[in-house]
Amino acid sequence: MGGGRVKFTVLTLFPDIVEAFFTSSIMAKAVERGLIEYELINIRDFAQDKHRTCDDSPYGGGAGMVLKAEPLAAALDSVGGLDKKVVFPTPSGVPYTQKKAEEYAELDEIVLICGRYEGIDQRIIDLYVDDEVTIGDYVLSSGEVSSLVLIDSVYRLCSGVITQESLEEESFQDNLLEYPHYTRPEVFRGLAVPEILRGGHHAKIEEWRHEKRIEKTKKNRPDLWDLNKSIEKSGGY
Ligand code: ADE
């Protein structure tokens, strides 16, 4: 775990939304330290008519507008999209997971297409897109938001962003959710920090945390828990 330096190239109609993320606090530090790189491409700069049109109504009828192929193709060509990993976040994609984030963190560059409206012309997907991914079973109006979710999950895996220890301890390690965390004060609104965490007995703390992870996974993610059981049955990974 812990990839190298990744470049995020983002194709968007709203570069200011994405720019705000890269220039804010922790992200800005990672950019400054050279841990990540980014390039924003305004799709509208590649529109081919005087009104700079980027969308049109769908063939076959139906609601909404579709992002046109020509500006998107020209924008993708400008960044060498045919030779790079092109990812399109969309509610019609395959589920995005931590495993995928780890895979992306090993790449030199990811090109993200931010969709809008009803979607993008299918021929862009056919010609350029390697991965269509969804961040969950709900529909966002903004592909920028889902691209930022992907970027956030990948950049934190790049070496130097956060400690190896935190990466190893976090949720989804072993398909279990995280144990509960506490910090001072010892008692807050009548709720005390569990005794065991104050004792300094490391083996016992580890055991307690493991039990809590199991408890939480069973309660909040029975699907993950069932997956663990079936992996165990088949003799592990
Ligand atoms: N764009 C709009 N909704 C999305 C979703 N659920 N996942 C990824 N991209 C999206």
CA 133–ligand 1 middle distance (angstroms): 8
Q: What is the secondary structure of 129-142 as a DSSP string?
A: -SEEEESSSS--S-
DSSP-derived letter for residue 35 is S
Residue 120 beta carbon below 6 angstroms from any ligand 1 atom: no
pLDDT of residue 1: 52
pLDDT of residue 232: 84
pLDDT of residue 112: 98
Residue 119 beta carbon below 6 angstroms from any ligand 1 atom: no
How many CB atoms sit inside 10 A of residue 15's CB?
Answer: 18
Same fold, 6-155 and 169-233: no
> Which one, of 141, 154, 161, lies nearest residue 28 by Cα?
161
Residue 91 beta carbon below 6 angstroms from any ligand 1 atom: yes
Pocket test for ligand 1, best of 146, 148, 150 (most atoms within 8 A of CB): 146
CA–CA dist 87, 94 (Å, integer): 11
CA–CA dist 204, 199 (Å, integer): 9
Pocket test for ligand 1, best of 135, 141, 148 (most atoms within 8 A of CB): 135
> What sign does the dihedral 70-76-78-83 (CA atoms) show?
negative
Instruction: Looking at the CA of residue 135, tell me the nearest atom of ligand 1.
Output: 7
CATH match for 169-233 among 2.30.30.220, 1.10.510.10, 1.10.1270.20, 3.30.1330.120 = 1.10.1270.20
Place of tokens 């862009």: 124
DSSP-derived letter for residue 161 is S
pLDDT of residue 234: 84
In this structure, the residue with its CA closest to atom 10 of ligand 1 is 90
Q: Do β-strands 191-192 and 187-188 pair in parallel, antiparallel, or remain unpaired?
A: antiparallel
CA 50–ligand 1 middle distance (angstroms): 30
User: What is the value of pTM for the model shown?
Assistant: 0.92
Helix (H) or strand (E) holding 71: helix 69-78
Cα Dmax for the chain: 71
CA–CA dist 156, 133 (Å, integer): 19
Instruction: Looking at the CA of residue 115, tell me the nearest atom of ligand 1.
Output: 1
Gyration radius of the chain over CA positions? 22
Would you say 45 and 56 are in contact if contact means Cβ atoms under 8 Å apart?
no
> Which one, of 99, 139, 90, 140, lies nearest residue 224 by Cα?
99
CATH match for 6-155 among 3.40.50.620, 3.90.870.10, 1.10.10.10, 3.40.1280.10 = 3.40.1280.10
CA–CA dist 79, 95 (Å, integer): 26
pLDDT of residue 123: 98
CA 137–ligand 1 middle distance (angstroms): 8
Instruction: Looking at the CA of residue 143, tell me the nearest atom of ligand 1.
Output: 1
Reading the chain (237 residues) residue by residue, the pLDDT tens digits are 567 899 999 999 999 999 999 999 889 999 999 999 999 999 999 999 999 999 999 999 999 999 999 999 999 999 999 999 999 999 999 999 999 999 999 999 999 999 986 899 999 999 999 999 999 999 999 899 999 999 999 999 997 887 777 777 777 768 899 999 999 999 999 999 999 999 999 999 999 999 999 999 999 999 999 998 888 888 775
> Which one, of 84, 89, 135, lies nearest residue 107 by Cα?
84
One-letter identity of residue 177: L
φ, ψ dihedrals at 43, nearest 5°: -55, -35
DSSP-derived letter for residue 194 is P
Domain ranges of the chain: 6-155, 169-233
